[in-house]
Amino acid sequence: MAQRTAFVTGITGQDGSYLAELLLERGYRVVGIVRREPRDAQSSLPPGLPGSVDLVEWDMRDLPRLVRLLEERRPLEFYNCAAHASGSGMYDEPIEIGEINGVGVTRILEAIRRVDAGIRFCQASSSEIFASASESPQSETTPVCPRSPYGAAKAYADFMIRIYRERHGLFACSAILFNHESPRRSTAFVTRKITHELARIKRGLADELRLGNLSARRDWGFAGDHVRAMWLILQQPQAEDFVVATGKTHSVREFCESAFTHAGLDYRDYVKEDSVAYRPDEPVQLVGNSAKADRLLGWKPETGFQGLVKMMVDADLRTVRG
């Protein structure tokens, strides 16, 4: 039996790297798509991936180049984990966000349609498509209502996926991922900012951590669990979209308390609310209902909130040295 090939965009990021590891464990040949010279991108991969994946360069604006890559490598599956500016940057550079997160996905779909409509495609979508929702929890039937350029671009990509699925018969799906974290998360995100600064405080390199609204709540899961759902989605007999979430929310304050307690500290001695960074609570809580994923994929998160916090704290304590 020939080895299966999968394309993964965003392979140097959190989701792409965990997904690449999962695919390698399952015997795939992984082609990682990067924005810059592959030799330079090697250094951005987690330990174990350099030398195990084949890196190729692709600008998401270049449709002919992707057509050639698909013709040369003939993947069976294609996972898009690449995105521009999420987290605190989701309102910045709206044109670039729309180009990469929205139109770029359409280019992938069009390339697949032209080369081989049998290639299965999974998009890493986002709970930000529900940011102005009037109902909670959110499921696959919740009306899409983004309120940021990032969420709008993700919603556009989801609509195009549905169009290509229904009009052209592509096996194309959206995994609507709610917040998912890990030690590989950027420090631009509040969870990693907390654990990284906690490690610096523990090592005597900092004496306080300034955050915005400590009451803000999120549906936080582990990135490794969420990308496992993406893989399961492409193993199904029928192409469908799925919400991927834990179904539970925790506040920023709870995250701080758990993280600092695990490091033997009291968060109240170090964490300060910053009025400049303060964002009011959302009118409706973003929390996902992943009952469909449970029923059809047999998917459940394996890493709980406390385990996720401890994993992230331990990783930063190992890497931050005084």
User: Hey, which residues are catalytic here?
Assistant: 126, 128, 150
Number of H helices, E strands in the chain: 11, 13
Pair of tokens at residue 71: 């013709």
What span, in angstroms and rounded, lies between the C-alpha atoms of 32 and 12?
A: 8
What span, in angstroms and rounded, lies between the C-alpha atoms of 31 and 80?
A: 12
R_g of the chain computed on alpha carbons: 20
For 85, other C-beta atoms within 10 Å of its C-beta total 20
Backbone phi, then psi, for 175, in 5-degree steps? -100, 105
Residue of 273, 111, 260, 280 whose CA lies nearest to 200: 260
For 279, other C-beta atoms within 10 Å of its C-beta total 9
- Conformational region of residue 130, where left means phi above 0, alpha means psi within -120 to 50, and beta covers everything else: alpha
